[in-house]
Amino acid sequence: MIAENTQTQMRKGILDYCILSIISRGEIYASDIISELKEAQLLVVEGTLYPLLNRLKNNGLLSYNWQESTGGPPRKYYQITDMGREVLARLDVTWRELVFAVETSLKGKK
């Protein structure tokens, strides 16, 4: 249970970072985000993504606009906000720090 909690928290932090990174490359549709995350083996099911996107949007890191699609319902395309970019830049720094910290710790273990 303790391990699970830690895993969940680690994964959650990384998920936000990855999603922001993916969206920062340009406007993108939710199911395309999913396929990238699936490839990265971070997320498996789409259902999990919507609450995350919703939270990031509510925090003002993302915005979306509706676009017509061929033969289907209109789609929500997500894009990163300025605030999102700021947060992402800080996360980049943090990530590099984390990688360094983890690598150092692991080296020390060996």
Q: What is the dihedral of CA 67, 54, 91, 26, to 10 degrees?
A: 0
How far is it, in rounded angstroms, from Cα 67 to Cα 109?
Answer: 51
94 touching other proteins, by CB under 8 A: no
Q: Is 11 an interacting residue with respect to other proteins (CB under 8 A)?
A: yes
When the beta carbons of 8 and 104 are compared against other proteins, the nearer one is 8
Q: Does 15 bind other proteins (CB under 8 A)?
A: yes
* End-to-end C-alpha distance for the chain, whole angstroms: 27
Q: Count how many residues are written for the chain.
A: 110
HSE value, Cβ hemisphere, 13 Å, CA-based, for 42: 19
Which residues within the stretch 18-77 sit at the binding site for other proteins (CB under 8 A)? Answer: 30-31, 43-48, 50-55, 58, 69, 71-73, 75-76
Cβ-proximal residues to 40 (8 Å cutoff; 6+ apart), any chain: 18
Least distance between other proteins and beta carbon 55 (Å): 7
Q: Give the shortest CB-110-to-other proteins separation in angstroms.
A: 30
Return the bridge partners of 28, or none.
78
10 forms part of the interface with other proteins (CB under 8 A): no
Chain residues in the site for other proteins (CB under 8 A): 4-5, 8-9, 11-12, 15, 30-31, 43-48, 50-55, 58, 69, 71-73, 75-76
